[in-house]
Each structure stands twice: as C-alpha cells, then as structure tokens.
Structure 1
C-alpha cells in the first residue's frame, strides 16, 4: 500500500469495485477503528467484531455514499459509533433477559479469560462507568475526540453536528469528569483542616 495515495482516490477505486483499494483503506484505518471500538466497549472481542462489522457495512454501502473529506476516518468512526450504540442496546436487553432467566451462580465469572485482557477490560470499564454519567452527546464527542483522536472538525463530520457543538460538549464533558474524579471531600469543599 502506498501512503501517498489519498483516501479519496482509494475510496473512488473501491466504489468501482477495486478490492485492493478497499483493502488499503482497511489497512490504513483498522487500528484506529479497532482502538475506538475497544475504548467504547471495554472488550477486545467486541472491538474485533465491531471493526469487522464497520468495514463490512462500509463495503456494502460504498456505492450509496460519497467520501466528502480527505480522510475516510471520520466516516468510519461515525459508522463505528452507530454500531457500538446498537451493540450496547442489544447487550443491555440480553443482560436483562439473562438476569431474569439465570440464577446468579450460573452467570459466568469473567476471571476465566486471559489475565491481560481482563485487566485492560476492567480498567476501561472503570473509565466507561465515569463516562456514562455524561449525556449521550457528550459521550459521543468525548469518544470521537479522545478515543478516536479526531480533531474538532473531523469529530463534527463523524457525528454530523456543528463544530461549535463538538467544542461545547467536549468542554462540558471534561468539566463533569473532573468533578466526578475529585475526592468527595474536595467536592463538598472540605479540606484536611476541617477533618482534624
């Protein structure tokens, strides 16, 4: 793959049915999409499935959609965001059904998985727990700008919102996360002097 070939050229070739061009787009952006999906789900397996689904959906819909930016990444992240949201809704429904149907002792212990993956998934789950306190719009902007490392303009394109909305939601998200992460004493205005 030549890095000098633009995403637009590769996209145009892909639309014409050139599988090699699409493979080059995949190779160029798969790691970014994969990392974004992991950071949204806290699961390596889910990230792998979602990355495959993103590129499959893009391939299937390539003739109906036009690349309107220099990079295909914002569009791929937008597609990933939609698939992550759908997967989270499905997982929540499935978990609710499992909890109603299975006694607690039959629920599988995640400690059976490989220890490296468990540790990273637990850390990411803790991060996601804090992020879930944000509004949906703030979560999506934070994921696009921080997890996918898109700039404001690319995040706006990926999420189909104005750039000012991206800036304000990201600012609010950061402020709320800082508030959540401060110790309870600091949030209540109590310092060490008052605790003695």
Structure 2
C-alpha cells in the first residue's frame, strides 16, 4: 500500500480514504469541537496527503500515523489563520451589534454541550499536550505512532502525555473541591476521570 501511495495510485488513495477518513474526522472533531470544521479538515488532509505522497516512508505498517500527522498540521495552520483573522477584526472600527439567531439551531444541543465540555477541558492544555493526549488516549496510537504522527521523539510524547494527565487530574481535584463548597456538579469530571483511567493502560 505504501508503494502504491508513493506511486500516486488513485485506487490506493480511494482505499485509504475509505479506511481512514472517519478516523481523521473523529480526531478533528475532538480537537476543534466543530463538526463542520472537522469535515473541512478531512478534505484538506487527504488533499495534502496526495500532494505529499512521495514523502511516505517506504516501510511501515498502518498509514494512520502519517495521515493524523498531516491532519495535525492542517489544524495548526487553521488555528494560525483564525488567530490572524481575530487579530485583524480587533483592529476594525466597532459597528452596531447584529442580532444573533444561532440559538434557534438547537437540534443537537445535547451532543454539542458534551463536546463543548470536553473541549473546554482540552483547551486548558497546551496545543502540544492536547495533540498527544487525543492521539494516544482517544485514537489509541502507541507512543511510537504518536511520535511518528507529530514528528517528535517517543520520549517527548511520554513527557507531554504525563504533563497533560497531571493537569487534568488537578482540574478534577479543583472541581471536586468546588463541588463540595457549592453543591454544583462539575461538567467535565467524566472526561478527566477517563484520562486518569487511561493511565492504567
């Protein structure tokens, strides 16, 4: 398959799209919290994969780390563009506010709230920690595969993962203290608890 991809075999690309597009989509949703943006990321990832096909290493097993590495770069580029766009908007003169009718679109509110809660917890991590956490814990890649996807050493993956888990544990402890003082139920306890459970893998 790697040889066929390197050779630009279109049937091979159709095959890896069928096999991995859902994986890339799921990864993008978890990092962006936006289904529509995730669809764009999938398209851009496979366009980039076609452009970079000759850079596929000739040896190896699954192409998943390679594709998720491309998806990670696509997401990083989109974050940079979004940040530049926000910066540009802040320099524009203020205008009268326009009514926002987005609240009318609540058909998927339950899933949206769950995704938002999870993303809120992830956003407390640095981008590098967030990428490692999602690839290792949710996508199930090995340390070596995560390292391949991100272009870093396995030791770097372990260090980032350890920091991410430590910060999520602290968030859980802080929320429990807040709950005991206010009686409120924390929103992302399940997410953080899962991260701790994954440490036992």
Range into which the TM-score falls when normalised by the shorter chain: 0.7 to 0.9
8 A Cα contact 1:33 1:76, kept in partner: yes
Structure 2, unmatched stretches of 5+, are: 182-201
Residues 1:18 and 1:184: Cα distance change in structure 2 (over 3 Å) = closer
Q: Deviation digits for residues 64-114 of structure 1, max 9, x if unmatched?
A: 432542111001111111111111222233234445546473274543445
1:160 is the counterpart of 2:151: yes
> 2: CA distance between counterparts of 1:112 and 1:50?
26
TM-score, scaled relative to structure 2? 0.77
Structure 1, unmatched stretches of 5+, are: 1-9
1:14 is the counterpart of 2:12: no
> 1: CA distance between counterparts of 2:42 and 2:103?
25
Residues 1:104 and 1:121: Cα distance change in structure 2 (over 3 Å) = farther
8 A Cα contact 2:132 2:161, kept in partner: yes
Q: Deviation digits for residues 8-58 of structure 1, max 9, x if unmatched?
A: xx2311322321111001111111111000101000000000001000100
1:178 is the counterpart of 2:144: no
Q: Which residue of 2 aligns with 1:105?
A: 97
1:83 is the counterpart of 2:74: yes
> 2: CA distance between counterparts of 1:122 and 1:36?
18
Structure 1 residue 136: Cα displacement: 3.0
Q: Deviation digits for residues 104-159 of structure 1, max 9, x if unmatched?
A: 7327454344521x543343233222222223321221121123221212111111
From 45, 62, 66, the counterpart of 2:53: 62
Q: Which residue of 1 aligns with 2:107?
A: 115
Q: Which residue of 2 aligns with 1:127?
A: 118
TM-score, scaled relative to structure 1? 0.78
> 2: CA distance between counterparts of 1:147 and 1:104?
43
Q: How many residues align?
A: 180
> 2: CA distance between counterparts of 1:154 and 1:86?
22
> 2: CA distance between counterparts of 1:157 and 1:22?
20
Across the aligned residues of Structure 1 and Structure 2, the Cα RMSD in angstroms comes to: 2.6
8 A Cα contact 1:131 1:139, kept in partner: yes
Residues 1:186 and 1:104: Cα distance change in structure 2 (over 3 Å) = farther
8 A Cα contact 1:11 1:22, kept in partner: no
